[in-house]
Amino acid sequence: AKARMEKIKPYARPVFLEPAEGLTRTYPKDTMIFCENMPGEELFVIQKGSVRITKIVNDREVLLAVLKPGDIFGEMALLENKPRSASAIAHEDCTLLVVNKANFERMVSTQPQLIAKLTTLLAERIWFLYKQLANTLLANPVARLYDGMLIHLEKLRVSIRDGSAYTFDFGPRELVNMVGLPQEKGLRAFQEILSSKFIRVLDDRIVVSDVAELEKQAKSYR
């Protein structure tokens, strides 16, 4: 298990690029799309690749989400006239549709269903944040890790059936980061989890061979 853990690398430092003009922009892996606290007047729709959203909390970079094609981000600064609440970094090479305020208003006037879509997206985000908040109240780090995995399954609406397997698109380091544990303490707790037979790590991804067992464990720790 230790050798497996050592292969897991921390994030690369993001590279900054000059933003190009145009309706779509492409960003190579690990480039900064925008920085926390900067002013911003564009929202983005992911067309290809993935984007990670991170925030500096107590001098630590915390991973808030990894967003996928079809997901929208950057809407908060656009809708609220506030600085960026978090940073967005290309997690893989990605292509983004860029929508500025004028275009956004035009799109909403011709496609009012966009507002409903955005409301659903924000409601889902609130649900997730609420779960994450409850997660940080769990004192036991092992409990937090189990619960963190379960929250992701719920978010993705993975059906919990006995014996069914699931591969997360993140590894132990990201999980530790997402549940807000200090790295060392979190990775130590993850070692403990690895002794259970239904969880292992393959290519820096957490693999659960029985999601029903995961749910049982998560509940027993609460």
- Tell me the angle at which helices 113-136 and 101-110 cross, rounded to the nearest 10 degrees: 120
| Residues numbered 65-124 forming contacts with ligand CMP, rule: CB under 6 A | 65, 73-77, 84-86, 88
Residue tagged 């497996």 (tokens): 4
* Total interface residues for ligand CMP by CB under 6 A: 15
Task: Indicate the length of the chain as a whole number.
Answer: 222
3-state secondary structure of 214: helix
Residue tagged 């549940």 (tokens): 179
Contact between 210 and ligand CMP per CB under 6 A: no
Q: Which is nearer to ligand CMP, 42 or 215 (CB)?
A: 42
Shortest approach of ligand CMP to residue 131 CB, angstroms? Answer: 11
d(CA 222, CA 142): 10
Shortest approach of ligand CMP to residue 178 CB, angstroms? Answer: 10
Shortest approach of ligand CMP to residue 125 CB, angstroms? Answer: 5
Give the single-character DSSP code of 13. P
Q: Tokens for 129?
A: 């944040």
Binding mask 119-148 for ligand CMP (x = CB under 6 A): ------x---x-------------------
Determine contact, residues 17/33, Cβ cutoff 8 Å: no
Shortest approach of ligand CMP to residue 87 CB, angstroms? Answer: 7
| Residues numbered 170-209 forming contacts with ligand CMP, rule: CB under 6 A | none
Rg of the chain in Å (alpha carbons): 19
| Residues numbered 22-61 forming contacts with ligand CMP, rule: CB under 6 A | 40, 53
Shortest approach of ligand CMP to residue 8 CB, angstroms? Answer: 23
> Residue 157 phi/psi, 5° resolution?
55, 40
Q: Would you tell me which residues interact with ligand CMP (CB under 6 A)?
A: 40, 53, 64-65, 73-77, 84-86, 88, 125, 129
